Amino acid sequence: MSEYCVSAPGKVILFGEHFVVEGVPAIASAIGLRVRACVTTEVGGDRVIVESNVFGKAEVYPAKPPSWASQFRRIIELFGERFGEIVAAKITIESSLPVGAGLGSSAASAVAFTAAYGLAYGIRLPLPEVSQLAFEAEKLVHGKPSGIDNTISCYGGTILYTRGRGFEHLDVNLPQTVKLVIADSGIQRSTKQAVSLVLARKRKLGKLGDMIYDVARELVHKAIDALRRADIELLGELMDVNHGLLNAMGVSLPELETLVHRARRAGAYGAKITGAGLGGTIIALVDDDRVDNVVRSLSEVAAKVFITSINGPGLKYG
Ligand code: MEV
């Protein structure tokens, strides 16, 4: 077989991270930064080899892979169970997503790998199956993932996720001129630690904590409407409010505050932490004509800055 390629996007949480853990809906969207996976079966022997632009090259089957490749090993085993054989292949993975920054890089890699490895079996797996296999791999990386990342990476677009209720596609009508600027603080953080810190504060605050969560719920409802009506000014303000709530719950840092305030001062509609906080990334909604300004200001202090868009396509073949 000659080489075939697929690609899958990363994601941002636009609204509702952390509050989602206690049942508030969250809004996530596929971004333009993607993982590309190319597969060939012309490798000889019975080995599956993965070559990643981020982690290097490793045999993933039958040898025991290094920890960065354990999610791929899990997917190969699941293919083996489903099809009764393991097909030898070499899969090359090229990611433009930063690792461990809350942008769904592991899920996008798992989705792209699954779809590419399916091609080694001569099939295009249906999207629900790709998503399910990637979810199984995600469990190895994250313990108890919500399923947001693999879902958005497979289907693309923008989704509303409510714990225990699943996913719903959302209508988004933003003009092409609206960009998403992402700034990586370069500060490594543990999602687990951030989640338990927020939950501990909520418990301590009692009724006041419940009220903050009620505000977060109302904010997401308003954001759904603003996304549909393309009310960008309101979306920006809602991002600022969401950031304030995350700060109130204890997951901001001086470095993240600096990034958020720089983005706003340089002309963003709004800016906020995305994901777990305590490090990781912030996002800013910015009009085309102010992108340069915002990127320049963020680049002075951020480890890395990306310009992309939301509501991008999901898994693509070719
Ligand atoms: C982390 O990207 C998002 C959190 O809401 C945790 C989760 O939903 O599992 C902080």
Ligand 1 touching residue 195 (CB < 6 A): yes
Please tell me the class of the 178-308 domain: alpha beta
Please tell me the class of the 4-170 domain: alpha beta
Report, as an integer, the average pLDDT of 195-213: 97
Give the pLDDT confidence of 80-136 residue by residue, as tens digits.
999 999 999 999 999 999 888 889 999 999 999 999 999 999 999 999 999 999 999
What three-state secondary structure class fits 283? strand
Give the pLDDT confidence of 4-30 residue by residue, as tens digits.
999 999 999 999 999 999 999 999 999
Atom of ligand 1 nearest to the CA of 144: 9
Q: Is 149 an active-site residue?
A: yes
Q: How remote is the C-alpha of 188 from its chain's centroid?
A: 16
**In the chain, what are the domain boundaries?**
4-170, 178-308
Distance between CA atoms of 249 and 258, rounded to whole angstroms?
18
Ligand 1 touching residue 146 (CB < 6 A): yes
Ligand 1 touching residue 242 (CB < 6 A): no
Report, as an integer, the average pLDDT of 139-155: 86
Task: Spell out the residues 6+ positions from residue 178 whose beta carbon is closer than 8 angstroms to its own.
Answer: 232, 269, 285, 286, 287, 288, 309
Q: In which element (H, E) is residue 292 found?
A: helix 288-299
